[in-house]
Structure 1
Amino acid sequence: MTPEAKAAAHERGRAIYNFRCYYCHGYSGDARTLAATFLDPRPRDFSTTSPATLSRKTMLMTVTHGSDGTAMKAFENTLTKEEIALVVDFVRTEFMERKAENTRYHTPENGWPDHEKQYAPAFPFARGEIPIDTPWESLTPEQQQGKRVFMQSCISCHDRAKVLDEGVIWDPRPVSYPRNSYSHRADGRADAVTGATPYAEHDVALEIADLTPLEKQGEALWLDNCAFCHAANGTGKNWIGSFLEPHPRNLTDPAFMASMTRERLRHAIREGLPGTTMPAWKSVLSEAQLEAVMAYISRAFHPVAGIAAED
């Protein structure tokens, strides 16, 4: 193969890699991507892999058939044999041998003039050196400025970068507030037009035998008032609850409810919770009604210390 033909093949491999592979393996083959942070095991870092330890034959087989137990898919139905060979040879030459940078994104041609200087304060957050959820008061003034730059200009691609609290990886979110004829009192009946169908199962009232008179009163109050946000089943995973930020408390969650007490629950209902959509009910519910709601919560969703023994 002439030097010209070899260079052309290399560029064809680059084009395939930049379209098919960079998302997990990174533009520079180092697997430093957002997608990679969600994968276990992580994608291979070609920049630290020696050609002597990973043969071309093995790479061809892996790209063709995938790798069991990993996120590496088979490309035999996506790429031709020639294209697989081109991208494998590109990876071996560009990353494993040359340790090259490949394609840079933040260039003046792509609309990033003076990127290295203008956005430098945000680099520690983009590179994962400083977790994005580090408390503001723990950051220096320069780091605080860097976080502002990251949140305004970088987060759309770099997303969370690195965080201290992983949180929920995936959570269904409604795209709109309930509309049309939707009602949380429909006992789980919903239609595709309202968009409530995926959440309808949480608005089905629980069937509990042998409720005490106080618990029955609490059930009626719950369904008429509290279920609007917390759902009929107390999970907060209905349409309204999934739409609200932060989500209403899941009163069936053992981890959360294990520390719940009568006084804490009573205070939350009476006074509301600042910084959330939980309002104060002290001017809506009487003390007797409040006791009934708490009795129902303790019976239907999770026992509350100080309530079950009394009621």
Structure 2
Amino acid sequence: MLPGHGRYDYRPWRGRPAYEWPGGTRLAVYVGLNLEHFAFGQGLGAELAPGANGGGGPQPDVLNHAWRDYGNRVGAWRMLDLLDELSLPATVLLNSAMYGHAPQLVAAHRARGDEIAGHGRTNSERQSTLDEAAEAALIAEATAAIAAAEGAPPRGWLSPWIAESLVTPDLLAEAGYRYTLNWCADDQPIWMRTRAGRLLAIPYPQEVNDIPAIVARKDGAERFARMIVADFEERLRQVARDGQPQVMGIALHPYLVGQPYRLRALRGALERIAAERDTVWITTAGAILDHVLALPEGMVP
């Protein structure tokens, strides 16, 4: 037997119970907007040019740090304008360090009623490298910061760099979380087992995601926008054909898609989705959780 995680059973796509999203729709679409802050001169971070200073030199890596900070200073505000223009909600995946670094930006999302989900303290660190007590402390610190600022603790979590230890789902459930975005194993929400009860895994994309597309594969702005539209239109075809509900997430980082030429391409893709708001459910991850919780037992694998 191969080692396994034991968090969920294999359930083939065919033969699952079919259910609907609100309004009789079968496709739920949400924007996962990552608001991240990075340490200067140390720690992890996406790179515009590989290696510190573009050539493997020593820290401080001014080029890549400043490029990422552009997202919070400029790109994220342009993303807010675009979301307002198209009347799109967002699930904000928030490093709690953002409260100290860019509180006005978090306040702007609060004002428009966006969901705030936990995304660690900073994307300069991975929780998977910590022992259990230190990881629990990280989750508790980030959760407390969001609860203090937003008036309620977050219900969902995305680990920085999607990094988990063997006990991360257990620690999340024990900290009061109801869903995780870490596991990209399905096109529907699925229940995971933890030592503190069930935790819902809501699909979060690793394909329709600007980090692997733009940073890793070096896809251009138009190609990434076409990817979003192709994913959306194929899903529309599938749900009409087989009746199975699906979740489509769109993962975005303002230091990438907030660049003007990428924003222009992204606008066209999101306009295509917004035009179907009467036939799809444009929502948040938290609202998906609420809908799943209201379904009859056994509908969700």
Structure exhibiting the larger radius of gyration computed from Cα positions:
1
Q: Structure 2 length as normaliser, TM-score?
A: 0.21
Structure with the bigger RCO (C-alpha within 8 Å, sep 6+) is 2
